[in-house]
Every structure is written in structure tokens, then in C-alpha cells.
């Protein structure tokens, strides 16, 4: 199937997966996998996360239909100062996202943990919203992460809040390969 197939008929959506439960990244990647099945080109940019090898990064290396970038220094529970490596890397990841939007060469752009970068003040919410809302009309964008800004949710076409009901971590079970990373 041709990559551009259906673009002229497509209405690009802004999808936002947020909340405190597990499954936001997994849900976004599921949509990416589905789209790749139709021959669509996908790019994933991970904000905040460190460059630890994960199942999804291994998958992307094997599948040329997915560009995969992890650009972060790991999670931080505090608001880093404006000159921190966290700010610099978030800016770099956002600039890369803008390049993908401008080039229009991917059907889906997933911005993993962008909500976290915004909630920590690593990026300006208004600037990000402007870029996302000015994407090509056929391009889908998936945003994930806890603490999504209300303003971003208001311009999203789909908002799913993932709620934690039970998590193995609370029973002393650490993150596991293939399930959590």
C-alpha cells in the first residue's frame, strides 16, 4: 500500500493520552503499529525519557516505517532550572517535532511524554499548541504523558485519561522487560 494513500481524504487528529495509570505510551504505540500495518510512515519522539534500550526502540530498529528518537535525561520530579539539560533536550526534541510537521513526510507523529515536559515547564504550552494545530490537515499527532495542560486538552480531538486502579509496583514488583519497557 502506498504511504500517501488516503491523505487527501484524511482528517488529521490530535490525540492525547494522559492520567496517572499505566498504558499511555502503550496506547499510542498501538495506534502507530496499526498505522504501519496500512503502510503509513510513523515517527516517535520521546521527551524526558533517558536513552535506555526498550522493546519499542528495538522494534523501531527493525522497521524502517518507524523513525524513533529518545531525547531526554530521564524523569525529574522537580521543575529544573531554565538552563538545565532537561530544558535543552526538551527544546531539541520539540524542534525535531517541528521539522517532522513542516516536512509532512510522516502520517503519524507521536510525542511521547510531551505532557510531562509541558507540566514541568520545559517548553512553552502556547508555542507547542501553535505548532501542533498548524500541522498538515491529514497528519495525526499523538501526545502522551501525565498532567496534560488543560489548554492542550481543549484543542485535542481525543482525550483519554488512563486511571490507575491497581499496579504491581505497590506490591513490590519492579518494572519488567516486555511489559514496562
Q: Residue 148: give its domain's CATH number.
A: 3.40.50.300
> Is residue 79 in some structural domain?
yes
Give how many domains the chain has, as a whole number. Answer: 1
> Is residue 44 in some structural domain?
yes
> Is residue 107 in some structural domain?
yes
pLDDT digits (tens, 9 = 90+) for 77-105: 556 666 688 889 999 999 999 999 999 99
Beta strand segments in the chain, E: 14-18, 42-47, 66-71, 108-112, 140-144, 158-161
Euclidean distance between CA atoms 125 and 128, whole angstroms: 5
> Is residue 76 in some structural domain?
yes
> Is residue 178 in some structural domain?
no
Query: Given this model, what pLDDT does residue 52 score?
Result: 78
- Domain extent at residue 106: 7-161
Amino acid at each position: 500500500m502506498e504511504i500517501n494513500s488516503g491523505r487527501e481524504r484524511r482528517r488529521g487528529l490530535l490525540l492525547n493520552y494522559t492520567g496517572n495509570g499505566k498504558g499511555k505510551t502503550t496506547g499510542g504505540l498501538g495506534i502507530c503499529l496499526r498505522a504501519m500495518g496500512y503502510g503509513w510512515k510513523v515517527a516517535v519522539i520521546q521527551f524526558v525519557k533517558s536513552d535506555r534500550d526498550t522493546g519499542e526502540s528495538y522494534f523501531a530498529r527493525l522497521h524502517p516505517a518507524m523513525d524513533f528518537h529518545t531525547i531526554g535525561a530521564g524523569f525529574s520530579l522537580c521543575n529544573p532550572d531554565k538552563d538545565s539539560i532537561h530544558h535543552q533536550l526538551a527544546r531539541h526534541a520539540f524542534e525535531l517535532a517541528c521539522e517532522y510537521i513542516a516536512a509532512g513526510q510522516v502520517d503519524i507523529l507521536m510525542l511521547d511524554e510531551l505532557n510531562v515536559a509541558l507540566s514541568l515547564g520545559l517548553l512553552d504550552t502556547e508555542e507547542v499548541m501553535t505548532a501542533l494545530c498548524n500541522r498538515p490537515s491529514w497528519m495525526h499527532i499523538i501526545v502522551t504523558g501525565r498532567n496534560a495542560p488543560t489548554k492542550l486538552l481543549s484543542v485535542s480531538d481525543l482525550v483519554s485519561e488512563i486511571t490507575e486502579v491497581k499496579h504491581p509496583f505497590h506490591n513490590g514488583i519492579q518494572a519488567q522487560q516486555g511489559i514496562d519497557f
